[in-house]
Amino acid sequence: MIEIPVDRLSAEVLNAVIEEFILREGTDYGVQEAGMDNKIAQVHRQLTKGDVLITFDPATENCTLLTKNQFQRYISEQNAENSEEKNETKSAGIAERLSSKSRISASASAYEDYSQDPGSNFD
């Protein structure tokens, strides 16, 4: 997931993203229901302050709004997963090399060395 800077979007696209988010999320604005214009203005203020970020997920090809904390938590989780995957891959590689060495060792020990056997005559 990547952050899309607000200033990279035209006003028209920005409003469309905000409207789509508001309609999709059905956000609760308290006891008194706010009109669409008020909701858009609230989200604009949150975006301007940096409390809310516009994000795009290339895997799902979806654009959404997340709080700064939600985005940071997502990034932290992704970094942790990537770190675990790297460790698992590294461990698997080490295990494969050790397994390969033990197979070679087992194969080599299966063949006995008769070259020093006094009873054998290879001349």
Q: Would 76 be classed as within a structural domain?
A: no
Question: For residue 26, what pLDDT is reported?
Answer: 63
- Residue 19 sits in a domain whose CATH number is 1.10.10.610
Question: For residue 123, what pLDDT is reported?
Answer: 47
Average pLDDT over residues 76-103: 70
Q: Would 115 be classed as within a structural domain?
A: no
**Residue 116 burial class via C-beta count within 10 angstroms: exposed 0-12, middle 13-18, buried 19 and up:** exposed
Q: Would 56 be classed as within a structural domain?
A: yes
Closest alpha carbon to 64 in 113, 105, 22, 29: 22
- pLDDT at residue 96 tops 90: no
Q: Would 19 be classed as within a structural domain?
A: yes
Domain that includes residue 52, residue range? 2-67
pLDDT, tens digit, for every residue of 30-88? Answer: 666 678 888 889 999 999 999 999 999 999 998 889 999 999 999 898 888 888 777 66
pLDDT band at residue 118 using 50, 70 and 90 as cut-offs: low
Question: For residue 69, what pLDDT is reported?
Answer: 92
| Distances in whole angstroms, Cα of residue 72 to Cα of each of 7, 33, 47, 84 | 20, 30, 15, 18
| Distances in whole angstroms, Cα of residue 101 to Cα of each of 57, 60, 88, 91, 104 | 43, 43, 20, 15, 5
Question: For residue 110, what pLDDT is reported?
Answer: 52
Q: Would 105 be classed as within a structural domain?
A: no
Residue in this structure with the two tokens 């590294």, named with its chain if needed: 90
Structure tokens at 103: 């197979």
Range 73-102 burial, b when 16+ CB lie within 10 A, else e? eeeeeeeeeeeeeeeeeeeeeeeeeeeeee
pLDDT, tens digit, for every residue of 16-30? Answer: 999 998 888 665 556
**Number of separate domains in the chain:** 1
Question: For residue 84, what pLDDT is reported?
Answer: 75
